[in-house]
Chains A and B, each alone.
Chain A
Amino acid sequence: MKLAKYTKFREENFGGVLFETRSEKVYSLNPTAAAIVREIVPGIDEQGIVERLRARFEDGGGALEAEVKAYLGSLRQLGLLED
């Protein structure tokens, strides 16, 4: 799993941005979303991302794993993530 070829990530004070340079679309990321993408960049897999986030965020009701999965799905749907 990695960011798509033409997708660039940059951290910002508000979280981060994903910039898809072929369509020239910019996606604004909140801090949690940025935390997930930060783990994607060095090649951490889905389970690894969940574990790392559990160490940083409170996993109320065990929803974190599902949320990460859903988020990665939305990135794939937008063409920002590839396997």
Chain B
Amino acid sequence: MTPPEAKTVAPAQDAPGASTGSSDLRAPLYVAWQVTNECNLACLHCIEESGPGKAFRDELDDSEVFEVLRQLMEGEVPYLSFSGGEPMIHQRFFDMVEYVCSRGGQLKIETNGHYLTGENCQRLAELGVKAVQVSMDGASRETFNKMRVRGDFDVALAGIRRLHAAGVPIEINYSPTRFNMHEIGAAVDLAHELGAYSFYTGRTMYTGNAVKTWRLLEPAEAQYETYFATLRAKTDEYRGRMRVYYHEMGLLEELRYRLQNPAALLIVLPNGLVKLLNALPFVCGDFRRESLSDIWARFQRGWEDQRVRQFVDDLATDPNKTSALHQWVTL
């Protein structure tokens, strides 16, 4: 008998399965679903251009939503996330959470933290979500409220405290800009104080709302150097107590890596279209017309498509190509 062996085939990444050789898998390992583009906030940097009144006209209806969920659960996709927009705005949000959790799926909710009432936190705890990730782009009211237009630092903070009280695992996400980078150390400390078990950050992308607000947001490279140095120190400081994940890699490096190592990850848009990756404009499927297995096959072929490679190559000379990620290209 061959000795049993478990080996790590993918380092911890934001996209799990990054090095698994996704073509060997019979289904994705992770589906990141933007369940609606509607949002109560209008954040300066929102990569989805979400905001009040920004729901897509053609978002999936209830029966279509649950048909997608049925396929994902029957396809044994082990890990899902619901994001948006603001996912907790979706009128069937808790029904969707219950559907996944009651069938053994592990589910992460990515929220701005403004709907984390005591009752909602309790329901999330009872339903057994794997984690709730809250965006906290600032360690102070001043920076948070500047970034998260219509948002309120104190509301988000109170929501996170209620999550912790309910026993829901907490992750914090932080998007750096020129006006909040200096708070990164305090933000990591705050995340730990709030009971988070993970803290995520990286480089803010030039896309979505950030295209219009870039002059307010764009960090200088020197700022990034200080930023990541602080994060290295905080990683050591909190080792064993809270995981601090940060991606120093720029988008071009990231995409070149992905071309060689596609993550076993599907990005599902509110209208059921499926993207290769958030940072690419390419669509490789449509849940309204295709099954999960067909989409998974198209996803594999998509990563081999010359247009994808060309886009990444062109990005080297024209970094502003990311400004058009919402002009989808069907592969």
Q: Bound pair: A and B? A: yes
Q: Interface of A with B (CB < 8 Å)? A: 6, 8, 10, 12-14, 17-19, 21-33, 36, 53, 57-60, 63-64, 67-68, 70-71, 74-75, 78, 80
A66 to B78, CA, bound (A): 30
Pairwise interchain contact A29-B6, C-beta atoms closer than 8 A: yes
Of A14, A21, A32, A78, the residue contacting B78 (CB under 8 A) is: A21
Chain B residues whose CB sits within 8 angstroms of the CB of A30 once the complex forms: 2, 4-5
B4–A25 touching, CB < 8 Å: no
- CB within 8 A of B1: which of A12, A22, A24, A32? A32
* 4 closest Cβ pairs, A-B complex: A8-B78, A71-B4, A24-B16, A33-B4
Closest Cβ–Cβ distance, residue B79 to chain A (whole Å):
5
Contact A10 B79 (CB under 8 A): no
Tell yes or no: B330 within 8 A of A by CB: no
Cα separation A83 to B94 with both chains bound (whole Å): 32
Q: Which residues of B contact A (CB under 8 A)?
A: 1-14, 16-17, 19-20, 24-27, 29, 76, 78-79, 104, 106, 108, 130-131, 169, 197-198, 243, 264
Point out which of B5, B104, B198, B243 has the most chain A C-beta atoms below 10 A from its C-beta: B5
The chain A residue sitting closest to B21, CB to CB, is: A28
How far apart sit A54 and B20, CA to CA, in the bound complex (Å)? Answer: 30
Main secondary structure of the interface of A (DSSP, over half): mixed
A71 vs B2: C-alpha distance in the bound complex, in angstroms?
11
A80 lies within 8 A of B78 (CB): no
Chain B residues with Cβ below 8 Å from A32 are 1-4
Which residues from B are CB-within-8-Å of A25?
8, 10-12, 16
Nearest-Cβ distance from residue A22 to partner chain B, whole angstroms = 7
Are A58 and B6 touching (Cβ within 8 A)? no
Closest CB of chain B to A50's CB: distance in Å? 11
Identify 5 new A-B residue pairs, CB closer than 8 A, beyond the known A10-B27, A13-B26, A17-B25: A10-B76, A19-B29, A21-B79, A27-B7, A70-B4
| Option from B1, B5, B19, B76 in Cβ contact (under 8 Å) with A60 | B1
Assembly CA distance A23 to B17 (angstroms): 11
Contact B16 A59 (CB under 8 A): no
Are A8 and B6 neighbours in the complex by a CB distance under 8 Å? Answer: no
Residues of B within 8 A of A28 (CB): 6-7, 9, 20
| Distance between Cα atoms of A30 and B3 in the complex (Å) | 9
| A6-B106, A60-B1, A64-B1 known; A18-B20 Cβ under 8 A | no
Minimum CB distance partner of A33 in chain B: B4
